[in-house]
Amino acid sequence: MMYKDPKQPVEVRVKDLLSRMTLAEKIGQMTQIERVNATFDAMKNYFIGSVLSGGGSVPSPNATAQQWIDMVNDIQRGAMATRLGIPMIYGVDAVHGHNNVYKATIFPHNVGLGATRDPNLVKRIGAATALEVRATGIPYAFAPCIAVCRDPRWGRCYESYSEDAKLVQQFSVIISGLQGDAPSKQVKKGRPFVGGKDKVAACAKHYVGDGGTVNGINENNTIVTTEQLFDIHMPPYWSALDQRVSTVMISYSSINGKKMHANKELVTEYLKEKLKFKGFTISDWEGIDRITSPPHSNYTYSVQESVLAGLDMIMVPYLYPEFINILTDLVNKKVIPMRRINDAVKRILRVKFEMGLFENPYADNSFVNKLGCKEHRELAREAQQSPPVLPLEKKLPKILVAGTHADNLGYQCGGWTIEWQGDSGNNYTEGTTILRAINATVDPSTQVVFSERPDYNFVKDNNFSIGIVVVGEVPYAETKGDNTNLTLPWPAPDIINNVCKATKCVVVLVSGRPLVIEPYVEAMDALVAAWLPGSEGQGVADALFGDSPFTGKLSRT
């Protein structure tokens, strides 16, 4: 059977398996049930494709990692006993660590992580969370929440990294922590990815607009123009797809009165067709029931509208025989076309193949000791402290100082210095360059390495504690300083990128005016506007290392 051959391309395996499946087996794959219902017989007889733990649903009070593994494996045996042996995928809400599990590391909620302004920290938390989820035998996390909370009255606002879509986009990098870094080689856009047995399938949620409801009322209506939708709520999903997120959970909420669980325009036409998302969409808990008011009052309509809208897997979670019977009837009556069912199942199988679930359906016990381990607890402690990068410690193993303005007194002083237009170099007047000041300030045991224009590999290979990048404008005066675009002069962008993408960094900007730095800010850990500090670079070093506080406020926008 071709689908059982791991050497075959994923799409070949998907096509082969799909061609062998009956309607009952296909609809089973679309069904996610709660663990309390997931008996051996239920899994085998209904061909169930997925199981979850709802909030607080555990194998037993204070269950150990091994008890979780035993439960997941027992459920998996039912799935593997089916005719085609399609493994189920077990999912859990691991939204700030593996938060359902006793003795797991509990990380700060997203609202606190957003305040760190440290996407790399959040990526590390994603990797740690993935290990702890895998430690309990689970390969799928319903995380991250990439809502843009616009009203703090919303009860889920702490699940949002920020009210600013750009910050939420930055913090979506937790997906790469959970799933692993997707290979840079050319891959069709939107394909799911999971990078090994120590990673999990992630779930970007809740698509879309959950953080924008009127008055912050949960599951309510988000009233937005098209421009607002795509400026505020959609950008994090673009970043999620760039990282090849495996699944997307649909929101309980509505967009301009249209329930997202029934919104074909945004789920199928935009997410799947325009953005080319190839993973699977999943409903929220009893999410399709809430298409009607009161919930579940017309379940046939709810099943019909949600599946036609483009939902692939339905988090039922309890009344699965009713769901399966209704969906089967709708397909047999041709209300829902078979191509829609095939599309849903193809997506679910694709994720399962991509993550290696067919080769490794059972839990790997080797990760058990990662649950709540010291390393992860230290990381959680770091996330709570989240100290600012500045002031820098004086006693560090090795500091890199880089940039055209680090050891150039002329640049540091600017125009109208000795010469009308100013000049370059250290021979025109007396003073202390920023580099000399840093050397005079740090502990004698600290090694200071200066490289004006280091390349990325040099920085990466040298294991620096911090990089200090000093760049800016060259001296000018009067008309010669006129500038119509205010861009950061070359080679500053290259230096910033080479240093800040390879190590923790502080950028000191030496300039006579505000400059356009937005394209580079994301790579920085701290930014200092030094303006034109004059001959005494020691003042800059004093602020960098905490001998004097930063007390200035910008005089210009």
H helix intervals, 150-254:
165-171, 174-179, 226-228, 235-242
Per-residue pLDDT band for 556 (boundaries 50, 70, 90) equals low
What mean pLDDT comes out for the span 282-290? 98
Preceding peptide of 391 cis, ω within 30°: yes
The yes-or-no answer on residue 478 being catalytic is yes
Is there a single domain that holds both residue 124 and residue 79? yes
Residues 466 and 400: beta-carbon distance below 8 Å: yes
Quote the percentage of the chain above a pLDDT of 70: 98
89-124, pLDDT tens digit by residue?
A: 999 999 989 988 888 888 877 887 887 888 999 999
Number of structural domains the chain divides into: 2
User: Do both 359 and 404 map to the same domain?
Assistant: no
Helical (H) or strand (E) element with 506: strand 505-510
Tell whether 58 and 161 lie within a shared domain. yes
pLDDT in the model for residue 384:
61
Integer Cα distance of 36 and 290 in angstroms: 22
Decide if pLDDT at 555 tops 60: no
Q: Which of 375, 443, 478, 547 is catalytic?
A: 478
Domain boundary among 316, 335, 370: 370
For residue 381, pLDDT over 80 is answered with: no
* Contact yes or no for 388/526 (Cβ under 8 A): yes
Residues 407 and 331 in one domain: no
* Mean pLDDT, rounded, for 75-93: 98
CATH number at residue 537: 3.40.50.1700
For a pLDDT cut of 90, what percent of the chain falls above it? 79
Q: Please name the helix (run of DSSP H) or strand (run of DSSP E) that holds residue 509, with its range, or none.
A: strand 505-510
Decide if 379 is inside a domain: no
Same domain, 348 and 322: yes
Catalytic residue among 159, 284, 407, 423: 284
375 within some domain:
no
Beta-sheet strand order (sheet of 247-250) = 203-207, 247-250, 280-282
Q: Where are the alpha helices (DSSP H) in 373-514?
A: 374-385, 409-413, 434-441, 456-461, 492-500
**How many CB atoms within 10 Å of residue 399?**
22
Q: Which positions ≥6 away from 87 have C-beta within 8 Å? A: 76, 79, 80, 352, 357, 358, 361
Task: Please indicate, yes or no, if residue 487 is contained in any of the structural domains.
Answer: yes
Q: Is there a single domain that holds both residue 415 and residue 538?
A: yes
Average pLDDT rounded to a whole number, residues 191-197: 96
Q: Do 246 and 350 reside in the same domain of the chain?
A: yes
Using alpha carbons, select from 548, 457, 556, 547 the residue that is nearest to residue 509: 556
Alpha-carbon distance 83 to 175, whole Å?
A: 34
Pairing status of strand 505-510 against strand 466-472: parallel
pLDDT number for residue 386 = 46
Residue ending a domain, among 347, 370, 393, is 370
Which residue range forms the structural domain that includes residue 363? 22-370
Minimum mean pLDDT among 201-210, 267-276, 414-423: which range?
414-423
User: Tokens representing 534?
Assistant: 């004059």
**Residue 98, in any domain of the structure:** yes
358 Cα distance to chain centroid: 26
* Cα atoms in the Cβ-side hemisphere of radius 13 Å centred on 450: 15
Cβ count near 462 (within 10 Å) = 16
Please identify which residue in the block is written with the tokens 């239920």.
42
Mean pLDDT of all residues in 171-186: 92
| Structural domain includes residue 553 | no
- Residue 13's SS3 state is helix
DSSP secondary structure letter of residue 381: H
**What secondary structure letter does DSSP report for 264?**
H
Q: What does the chain come to in residues?
A: 557
Q: Which residues are paired to 201 by β-bridges? A: 140
Q: Is 11 a catalytic residue?
A: no
- In which element (H, E) is residue 113 found? helix 110-116
> How many of the other CB atoms lie within 10 Å of CB of 403?
30
DSSP H helices in 312-455: 320-332, 338-354, 374-385, 409-413, 434-441
**Considering the entire predicted model, what is its pTM?**
0.76
Q: Identify whether 13 is part of a domain.
A: no
Residue 389 has pLDDT above 90, yes or no: no
The pLDDT-based confidence of 385 (bands split at 50, 70, 90) is low
The mean pLDDT value for 194-198 works out to: 96
Q: Is the pLDDT of residue 473 over 80?
A: yes
In angstroms, the CA 539 to CA 542 distance is: 5
Same domain, 364 and 225: yes
- Are 450 and 467 in contact, with CB atoms under 8 Å apart? no
Same domain, 267 and 338: yes
Is there a domain that residue 9 lies in?
Answer: no
Mean pLDDT of the chain, nearest integer: 93
Say if residue 338 is in the same domain as residue 456: no
Tokens of 54: 């709802």
Residues 458 and 495 sit within 8 Å (Cβ to Cβ): no
CB within 8 A of 179, min separation 6: which ones? 130, 193, 194, 195, 199, 200, 201, 202, 243, 244, 245, 246
* 193/289 Cα distance (integer angstroms): 30
Domain CATH code at residue 329: 3.20.20.300
pLDDT greater at residue 213 or residue 532? 213
Measured distance CA(478)–CA(4) in Å, rounded: 74
Same domain, 342 and 490: no
Instruction: Let me know whether 347 and 400 are in one domain.
Output: no
At residue 529, does pLDDT exceed 90?
no
CB within 8 Å of 236: residues ≥ 6 apart: 146, 148, 165, 168, 169, 172, 204
Pairing of strands 466-472, 447-451: unpaired
Final residue of a structural domain among 370, 397, 414 = 370
Question: Residue 35 falls within a domain, yes or no?
Answer: yes
Cα torsion 265, 270, 273, 274: sign = positive
389-413 mean pLDDT: 95
Return d(Cα 404, Cα 410) in angstroms, integer: 11
* pLDDT at residue 317 tops 90: yes
User: Residue 398's Cα: distance from chain center in Å?
Assistant: 31
Distance CA 517, CA 108 (A): 30
The per-residue pLDDT for range 474-492, each reduced to its tens digit, is 988 777 788 778 899 999 9
Most confident of 369-373, 409-413, 417-421: 369-373
Q: How far apart are CA 156 and CA 463, in angstroms?
A: 39
